Chain A
């Protein structure tokens, strides 16, 4: 075996180093210096992000296929990993206060180790070109999350959420495996490119069911309707840091992996088999997510449903099935990370300080905590897609990408998505209304959020304000997407 093949896995190796160092720190450092672990992890993760970003910028991360074609990396793959890294860094910064708490003293290390392992799994999902690697990545990214969801040992909801999560996760894995076994039966291979060639022009009931099961399996992690029912309970029950990780990083990585699978495995039967499946799923996801979001009073549950409908928008990049859609999807994920983490940053800060997570508790917040309210308002505006915030541009680009299809059906789809943005505007503005207009006798008291939380929110605000306006970001993504290996599949 040629060990130089490992050099292609630069980002994975960097992540592994972070993991090992965190593990060693956790295991061998004396108890009194354990408090430094969160900051230590953040610094290491920053370094890993910077290393990955630089290797990408300097052009050293070229396209390569190693381990017999099971693993693949290219600039666009490196870019999506960098985007994930940025999100993880923000999540880690925001969780410093929570992880540094007294209650966490014995389990602090576990949180970081589990988190890094799931990130590693996501890397594998993104880079896999063989379903075996993909499944390992998927499971790696799923199972430790159950432990993270159950992290608040003393809270009943946390347990409930973890149980619900693990049961549905296992079930969806089973369905996914079922789909894979159909695929294997049909084509005799688990390599992406071999399947691609074998299913070309060979539509059959078995293939359709296989595609449906694969979509269902991955759709579980993306929480597409009707595979989404676990989402609200889990988001609500999990600790806020875990929820934010689940809602942005896990979702972003899976969305990209999903696009890769649909393009590189089933791309040859796009219009015959799965275009209409995605069509139905997108409409269902956006609409149902919105309809449920309207009724929520718990902020975490509310953001759970909002994230479901956001996943529907992200899927527009998949159904677009072109390079522009890919670029728009990556941009959407990036913006979504900043917007959603802005919102979760505020929720986490308020929860850490007062333990309140209901929308009713946010009444009159602008009077007592103007800065927090402002961050929340920006996040809501960005999620709703109000210009000039980044969310507007990401929605605009993803619609543009989808409209490249130029068929009536796609126009209808985008129209439905547009109508749904109006519905979403309603519930996002409910939060703003609660904070700025509604009066309350006893609003949340003014408090000073921790330095780490404030840094996290500042980063999110910067992203919300500038990502849309700084055009090189999107231009780079377009260029990457157009030259990527995935783009060649769109053309066939």
Chain B
């Protein structure tokens, strides 16, 4: 493959960012919006060309059937040592091709959707510039050839997410949310950076191909050194995973994602549902062969994922803001993917069931991106119609917004895991992998899946059924065409995506195989999901006092769930009370008095000295000559005295 197409995939969004960012203020909203869509549309076509060429062209398949990892180009940027080189390049392999498709699809649909959703907003051009910047960063991240390039784009993604969350920068809550998101993920990235440094220090390479294919080398180079009882490799992988936890909002670093919903809703669909938040999953998947070498690291991935999935599902059952419900459902679903990666190995450095978990994780990432973006865009249409984020302001909307209702329903069915919608297939693979790893994990994840079905249909019924509030003479209606097209398209994808023979495209060792449905697991999960949906229907289909009764029956549990188990308060307490008072205040005092004091006294002395010697410049030429000759004599005299 030539380098033109891959290069353009990265260059066009960057160019659009510069164009819209610099010249955007001079453009009309319409022009800027359509330019953004045009740029992203072109990128979409190029990305599809590249990805489909990769999947279907025999040149990228070895004789054994294995898909070949191809480095399209790799430009050395900084060479520290002969081996330790930071390059910028383009790696094409099954998962990066998959991500190219996901990112460009969702990004293009969001560009299109925003034409309607953001119409008339102040800073419309800036919004499109940031969208382009985000797309560029995300594309750069997934095609990174080495872990350092990934880190660079990883930070760029964080920065553009910050810019987009804080898009309504006059709104206090949006500013606070953007800061929170940036600080929390940045804090996690510190771990990531340390992990990168540790790993590269020992293995002497940043290169993904070297790290993932040469396990002997990685093992040999990191052997021997230990820190606090754990091997270097464990430390490096856990620290790298910390970065992934931050971006993918795993507990306890999940606190930024619900607040990030302050951004415009299409942004939530693009960044906080489909693309950026799966970066952590992608990172673990990219490093998967290295994680295989270390049992404890995969164990941590699985456990963190399982706990987060359950926690987020519980919280999602009690939220009022529909975007918050979706946010927690996102956390829960990403945790599914993490669990799936964590259970892909059986702990002996081998993978079980053909690395079923790996494939399932990537499959779920793909289907989830589609149906979650659908749900978010649907939520955007609802918010657009009723001008509120709370379900209390909605109800009975199925009458007014049929298209939104049906597409939203498809999204809910997909995420609940009802066949034949896409979520069923991918979730079923994850559950199979979990059962294969340990029955407990399988049951646990099935329960979470049931909770998923419950809270999604709770949301659905509360929005589209329940009781109709007074909409006044301003009745809600379906959104305009640019917003409608993405909804319908994504709904269609969610209907059929499950039938993609995913095992042929993405597997851990890139060898294609046929995926199977385990009938028992499939039946049980579907049965559980249907039960959950029925329960939700029973409780929320019409207005009744049952939910209120339930709430009063378990006040403590409801309270904790509703307040997200007080994680934010805990963080507030730790930072404001302990760190600010215990560490920051003494340091600030030290800085203000000792460091500044020293500098100030230097300045004062300098000033004083300058005043003292000022009379030397008397303006009298006799004095000048006198000083001159004394100077010359002293210069010689002192040297003579020292010499002799």
Contact present for A164 and B621 (CB under 8 Å) = yes
Contact present for B606 and A229 (CB under 8 Å) = no
Within 8 A of B (CB), among A88-115: none
CA distance A203 to B624 in the complex (A): 30
Query: B630 near A: Cβ within 8 Å?
Result: yes
Contact present for A292 and B606 (CB under 8 Å) = no
Q: Which of A168-176, A338-346, A430-438, A482-490 contacts B (4 or more CB under 8 A)?
A: A168-176
CA distance A159 to B624 in the complex (A): 17
Contact present for B609 and A291 (CB under 8 Å) = yes
Q: Which of B611, B617, B625, B631 contacts A171 (CB 8 A)?
A: B625
Contact present for B619 and A213 (CB under 8 Å) = no
Query: A299 near B: Cβ within 8 Å?
Result: no
- Against A, the Cβ 8 Å flags (1 = close, 0 = not) of B615-631 are 01101010111011111
CA distance A225 to B616 in the complex (A): 12
Q: Which of B614, B624, B636 contacts A229 (CB 8 A)?
A: B624
- Tell me whether A226 and B630 are in contact in the complex, defined as CB-CB below 8 angstroms, given that A292-B613, A295-B611 are known contacts: yes
- Against A, the Cβ 8 Å flags (1 = close, 0 = not) of B586-613 are 0000000000000000010011011101
Contact present for A229 and B617 (CB under 8 Å) = yes
CA distance A175 to B624 in the complex (A): 14
Contact present for B606 and A212 (CB under 8 Å) = no
Within 8 A of B (CB), among A291-308: 291-292, 294-295
CA distance A215 to B614 in the complex (A): 25
B631: chain A residues within 8 A (beta carbon)? 216, 225-227
CA distance A215 to B630 in the complex (A): 13
Query: A319 near B: Cβ within 8 Å?
Result: no
Contact present for A164 and B624 (CB under 8 Å) = yes
- Against B, the Cβ 8 Å flags (1 = close, 0 = not) of A141-184 are 00000000000000000000001100110011001000000000
CA distance A289 to B109 in the complex (A): 65
Contact present for A171 and B628 (CB under 8 Å) = yes
- Tell me whether A226 and B621 are in contact in the complex, defined as CB-CB below 8 angstroms, given that A208-B639, A215-B635, A294-B610 are known contacts: no
Q: Which of A168, A213, A292 contacts B624 (CB 8 A)?
A: A168
CA distance A281 to B630 in the complex (A): 14
CA distance A215 to B636 in the complex (A): 10
A292: chain B residues within 8 A (beta carbon)? 610, 613-614, 617
Query: A288 near B: Cβ within 8 Å?
Result: yes
Query: B62 near A: Cβ within 8 Å?
Result: no
Contact present for B644 and A205 (CB under 8 Å) = yes
Name the residue among A216, A225, A232 with the largest chain B CB count within 10 angstroms.
A216
B624: chain A residues within 8 A (beta carbon)? 164, 168, 229-230
Query: B632 near A: Cβ within 8 Å?
Result: yes
CA distance A426 to B630 in the complex (A): 31
Q: Which of A129-137, A270-278, A326-334 contacts B (4 or more CB under 8 A)?
A: A270-278
Contact present for B628 and A216 (CB under 8 Å) = yes
CA distance A295 to B610 in the complex (A): 7
Contact present for B619 and A233 (CB under 8 Å) = yes
Shortest CB–CB separation between residue B262 and chain A, in angstroms? 35
Query: A423 near B: Cβ within 8 Å?
Result: yes
CA distance A291 to B625 in the complex (A): 21
- Tell me whether A288 and B613 are in contact in the complex, defined as CB-CB below 8 angstroms, given that A164-B624, A203-B643, A226-B628 are known contacts: yes
Query: B570 near A: Cβ within 8 Å?
Result: no
Q: Which of A175, A205, A225, A233 contacts B629 (CB 8 A)?
A: A175
User: Which A residue sits closest to B622, measured CB to CB?
Assistant: A167
Shortest CB–CB separation between residue A467 and chain B, in angstroms? 25
Contact present for A281 and B635 (CB under 8 Å) = yes
User: Which B residue sits closest to A226, measured CB to CB?
Assistant: B631
CA distance A291 to B642 in the complex (A): 29
CA distance A78 to B631 in the complex (A): 34
Query: B553 near A: Cβ within 8 Å?
Result: no
Contact present for B609 and A226 (CB under 8 Å) = no
Contact present for B643 and A273 (CB under 8 Å) = yes
User: Which B residue sits closest to A291, measured CB to CB?
Assistant: B610
User: Which B residue sits closest to A164, measured CB to CB?
Assistant: B621
Contact present for A276 and B642 (CB under 8 Å) = yes
Query: B640 near A: Cβ within 8 Å?
Result: yes
Shortest CB–CB separation between residue A185 and chain B, in angstroms? 15
Contact present for A291 and B628 (CB under 8 Å) = no
Q: Which of B610, B619, B627, B640 contacts A226 (CB 8 A)?
A: B627
CA distance A292 to B611 in the complex (A): 8
CA distance A215 to B633 in the complex (A): 11
Contact present for A291 and B621 (CB under 8 Å) = no
- Against B, the Cβ 8 Å flags (1 = close, 0 = not) of A244-282 are 000000000000000000000000000011101100110
B607: chain A residues within 8 A (beta carbon)? 294
A233: chain B residues within 8 A (beta carbon)? 619
- Tell me whether A280 and B621 are in contact in the complex, defined as CB-CB below 8 angstroms, given that A226-B630, A295-B611 are known contacts: no
CA distance A226 to B606 in the complex (A): 19
CA distance A227 to B625 in the complex (A): 8
6 contacts between A and B (CB under 8 A): A163-B621, A209-B636, A216-B635, A233-B619, A277-B635, A291-B609
Please list the 3 inter-chain residue pairs (A to B) with the smallest Cβ-Cβ separation, ordered nearest first.
A212-B636, A226-B631, A216-B632
Q: A168-B624, A212-B639, A291-B613 are in contact. List 5 more A-B contacts (CB 8 A).
A: A175-B629, A175-B632, A211-B636, A212-B635, A426-B603
